[in-house]
Amino acid sequence: MTILVTGGAGFIGNNFVHDWLAAGDERVVNLDKLTYAGNLSSLADLRGDERHVFVHGDIADRALIARLLAAHRPRAVLNFAAESHVDRSIHGPSEFIQTNIIGTFQLLEAVRDHWSGLGEAERGAFRFLHVSTDEVYGSLGENDPAFRETNAYQPNSPYSASKAASDHLVRAWHHTYGLPVLTTNCSNNYGPYHFPEKLIPLVIVNALAGKPLPIYGDGRQVRDWLYVRDHCSAIRRVLDRGVPGETYNIGGWNEKTNLEVVQVLCRTLDELAPAAHGSSYAAQISFVADRPGHDRRYAIDAGRIEKELGWRPAETFDTGIRKTVRWYLDNRAWVEEVQSGAYREWISRQYERGGAGG
């Protein structure tokens, strides 16, 4: 048995691949474009593992997807591949349209062609799981109820608009063609292998380097925080038990302001890696101009996945943050490599587009 994972060298995708292989022996074909946030160093421990087949390629390359599906005949396709940074989408939205919309379309079409040619039993067992975000729902007021699966889509950034479009395509391919799809919308993830442009890894890296800890606006934007390994367990549960055509919100039940998150990080770093100057890392906090269209609050109601599929997160915010900080302290070489860009030079020497390796 085999699954195909797209975007499996990125933050959530590589955590999922590790989680999947730790739980069993089912093989993973891992397709990733290896943009700046996709990093083979995150998969270095899987080199030589016959259960993991890495392929360098783009979900928008329909011919490549078709070849992979024909060669490996996966029982499921899990789509993690996405451009995902709001700030980057504001400065350069075209890549988000290309990957998140056009790429999802080409992937769906290749999968539909493959699925249509399967035998009846294989067609019935096949699943296409699309990993999305709570940002498609827009912004909440301070006292609004958390996002449920029935909330209307109201995306406010090029990133969230492109993800909303991809969600709509996935839904349409189920209702029009019968493709057995599952969609998950998650809250903000954090944990190991997070590229250091997002809030939590950026604060950890900057704090240790003695740099300012930048917080947008007044720092009171609220997010629900989900430890990435909890997210992985939820995706496994949806793949195993989810109803085709349905959407499941995945959250951590951890609403925090950005300022609260940074303060917790500073306290944890003060304990685990005290600064040489003797002061708290909180002294490095710096407030910067807010970004355009910054959503004020996201919150996920994860009641449906708990009630229907029996899933709840295992980590609290405090336990998850502690594990995250410890990972970054123990893996400083990984941070230095992804920041230097050296891994991209290595990729260009070692792999050609569409190449494969264990």
Is residue 177 flagged as an active site residue? no
Q: Which of 58, 61, 83, 135 is catalytic?
A: 135
Structure tokens at 79: 């789509």
pTM, two decimal places: 0.92
- Does residue 333 sit in helix, strand or coil? helix
Query: Residue 338 pLDDT > 90, yes or no?
Result: no
Structure tokens at 40: 């083979």
Q: Any idea where the domains of the chain sit in the sequence?
A: 2-357
pLDDT tens for residues 283-296?
999 998 887 878 88
Is residue 336 flagged as an active site residue? no
Query: Residue 74 pLDDT > 50, yes or no?
Result: yes
Provide the pLDDT for residue 340. Answer: 76
Any idea which residue has 């093989």 for tokens? 27
**222 or 90: which carries more pLDDT confidence?**
222
Structure tokens at 36: 């700046």
Q: Which of 32, 83, 137, 159 is catalytic?
A: 159
Q: Which of 134, 167, 224, 301 is catalytic?
A: 134
Phi, psi for 96 (deg, rounded to 5): -70, -40
Cβ burial, residue 330 (10 Å; 0-12/13-18/19+): exposed
pLDDT tens for residues 163-210?
999 999 999 999 999 999 999 999 999 999 998 878 999 999 999 999
Query: Is 3.20.20.370 the CATH classification of the domain at 2-357?
Result: no
**291 or 52: which carries more pLDDT confidence?**
52
Which of 3-17, 100-114, 211-225 shows the lowest mean pLDDT across its residues?
Answer: 211-225
Query: Residue 87 pLDDT > 80, yes or no?
Result: no
Provide the pLDDT for residue 345. Answer: 62
Is residue 298 flagged as an active site residue? no
Single-letter amino acid code for the residue at 39: N
